[in-house]
A and B are shown apart, each in its own frame.
Chain A
Amino acid sequence: MKPVFEITRGMLPTDTSYCPGCAHGIAHRIIMETLVEMGQLENTIGVTPIGCSIVSHEFMNVEMCESAHGRAPAIASGIRRVHPDKMVFTYQGDGDLASIGAGEIVHAAHRGEKFTTFFINNGIYGMTGGQMAPTTLIGQKATTAPEGRDPELTGWPLRVAEMLATIPGAVFVERVALNSPANVMKAKKVIRKAPEIQQKKLGFTFVEILSTCPTNWGKTPIEACKWIDEKVIPYYPLGNLRTPEEA
């Protein structure tokens, strides 16, 4: 009998620690499925951020390194220099990457580091309990923006993919979302392109993944997915911002 569905061996046989309706689990699974399909699972080294997904090495079946807050791109740069033929990626949230690690991600892109960053943008600090991130939308409530984000006080939400796409060393930059089956299918295709370009050693590759945080958004999982369509995507449009000609 031929199995119609198997859990990918890219994921370890354990429950994740993520909240119901959080998209980390989907992101983990499609990244790991991709590495299995590419025959790269055994050849991959990942770097986890500070945030809910610091423990993602307990779920993703690749060798991984925990990092200090925001420093994953520096750590991945070091790993990639030692192992130029391995697949290297960082998996980072928006508090980690867009705030405390803004310097490290910009300069990894600037040096054209040959690894891939999967940037999980849910517009809020998850693990610490819902504080405002650089990516929090105008008017969106957070525990450090109780009246909603006011641009006069806190500036405007940072579009990281657009910013990185201005850097010559960032050869592949695309934004995807995980809020519907159709978007997940599209995201998976994009997520495969980044490591393929990494293998060609053309430069830094980056996929921004719009994700949900129902717990800290104060929404049900279904409302959270809807909110991505209605509020998040209009500010953070999906699509490709850079693809190398050689790809």
Chain B
Amino acid sequence: MSEKVLMKGNEAFGEAAIRGGARFYFGYPITPQNEVPEFMSRELNKRGGQFVQAESELAAVNMAYGAAAAGGRVFISTSSPGFALMQEGMSFMASAEIPVVAMNVSRGGPGVGGIQPGQADYFQATRGGGNGDYHIPVFAPSTLQEAVDMIYEAFEIADKYRNPVLILADGMMGQMMEPVVLPEQKEQLQSEDIASRKPWALTGWGGKEKRSTVVSLHMKPDVLEECVEKLFVKYRAAEKELVRYETHDLEGAQVVFVAFGTMARIVSEAMEMLGEQGIKAGMIRPQSLWPYPYCAFDEIDTATTKVVISTELSMGQMLQDVNIGVCGRWPTDLIYRTGGIVPTSLEIVERTKKILEGLKK
């Protein structure tokens, strides 16, 4: 039966992964996600899985690659600079069609940056930080319940598309506590059942019809082109099937915010405050960042909307996608804080009013 408990974000992420059937976790300490590897080291071994502390994020992502190539259900987590190191593995796994669920509890950057919440990994997450033509489905929860549900489902999506899937949270979500309803424990895929359930996985060829190899080298350009085109058939399907978003109060809205993750929580509060001041505001909340919900912008109220504002913990990285969605139909603007600063709802209200005044001039 499902149960409701009060949990810290990072621990809830780990619990959701275990309940989602993850048997293998490879991690490396980095703030603000340290409670994920700590939780996994406490829990996974006694619940039929294995925790390994890797020597680096590079090693962690490659251990994940190996374990998932061998048919294991694998979860990894890190934070921004660590995810930069993992890009090698993301590219290789996308190329070799290896399913892994990765979590980035992101912080401010660039460089070492800071350890406070940030969304400046938007490009890194959605544009493919590794080399080559590939995509990673990216989901961005704004509550711990949504994070738990997204992680739980991500394993099925990763397996279906045979591709890595990323959950992009931020340090605020990793560190806060919220009540969550935990889903039921999924059946774990045992090592002896891998060969029959995942015939492509590496198990040794004994008893198999065909020897499996996991490759990403294609020396002949025409063969490589064909392999990439095959990946993109998958990505085109994902663009249709994995688009997720919510809209709030778009009808009659003067201002439409676009916000994900922690920012969407603060924008919700700012919308109420603006409403009390007679300014009707709506919100598009992307839940999938790749594929991006461009179609959501078609729901904006053409009669009333004066401006669409990308609201982010980064310097307008998502604004590029907002502009694609808006497609010249409304003016766009940006409200941001970066470096690990999370704005208050009052700050968003004040900035919004200034933007609206600016439009009158």
Contact A74 B206 (CB under 8 A): no
Contact B24 A74 (CB under 8 A): no
Contact A81 B50 (CB under 8 A): yes
User: Interface SS of chain B: helix, strand, loop or mixed?
Assistant: mixed
Contact A74 B58 (CB under 8 A): yes
Q: A43-B206, A107-B59 are in contact. Are A77 and B52 (CB under 8 A)?
A: yes
CA distance A186 to B298 in the complex (A): 73
Contact B24 A45 (CB under 8 A): no
Task: Report, as a range, how many residues of chain B touch the other chain.
Answer: 35 or more
- What is the total of A-B residue contacts with beta carbons within 8 Å? 128
CA distance A55 to B62 in the complex (A): 19
CA distance A83 to B195 in the complex (A): 11
A184 to chain B minimum Cβ distance, whole angstroms, is 27
**Quick check: is A67 within 8 A (CB to CB) of the other chain?**
yes
Contact A103 B59 (CB under 8 A): yes
Which single residue of chain B is at the shortest CB-CB distance from A42?
Answer: B206
**Quick check: is B66 within 8 A (CB to CB) of the other chain?**
yes
Find chain B residues with CB under 8 A from A75 CB. Answer: 62-63, 65-66, 69
Q: A63-B204, A74-B58 are in contact. Are A81 and B211 (CB under 8 A)?
A: no
A193 to chain B minimum Cβ distance, whole angstroms, is 21
Which single residue of chain A is at the shortest CB-CB distance from B204?
Answer: A43
CA distance A164 to B203 in the complex (A): 28
Contact B55 A103 (CB under 8 A): yes
Contact A64 B214 (CB under 8 A): yes
Task: Report, as a range, how many residues of chain A touch the other chain.
Answer: 35 or more
CA distance A110 to B89 in the complex (A): 22
Contact A63 B203 (CB under 8 A): yes
Contact A78 B204 (CB under 8 A): no
B69 to chain A minimum Cβ distance, whole angstroms, is 5
Find chain B residues with CB under 8 A from A61 CB. Answer: 211
Contact A83 B69 (CB under 8 A): no
Find chain B residues with CB under 8 A from A43 CB. Answer: 204, 206
CA distance A242 to B215 in the complex (A): 34
Find chain B residues with CB under 8 A from A64 CB. Answer: 202, 213-214
Contact with B along A73-114 (1 / 0, CB 8 A): 011111101111011000000000000000110110011000
Find chain A residues with CB under 8 A from B67 CB. Answer: 78-79, 81-82
Find chain B residues with CB under 8 A from A74 CB. Answer: 54, 58-60, 62-63, 65-66
**Quick check: is B1 within 8 A (CB to CB) of the other chain?**
no
Query: Which 5 A-B residue pairings sit nearest by Cβ, starting from the closest?
Result: A78-B66, A42-B206, A75-B66, A78-B67, A74-B62
- What are 16 A-B contacts defined by CB distance under 8 Å? A62-B204, A63-B205, A68-B62, A71-B62, A71-B88, A74-B58, A76-B66, A78-B65, A81-B50, A81-B72, A82-B72, A82-B194, A83-B191, A104-B62, A106-B55, A107-B55
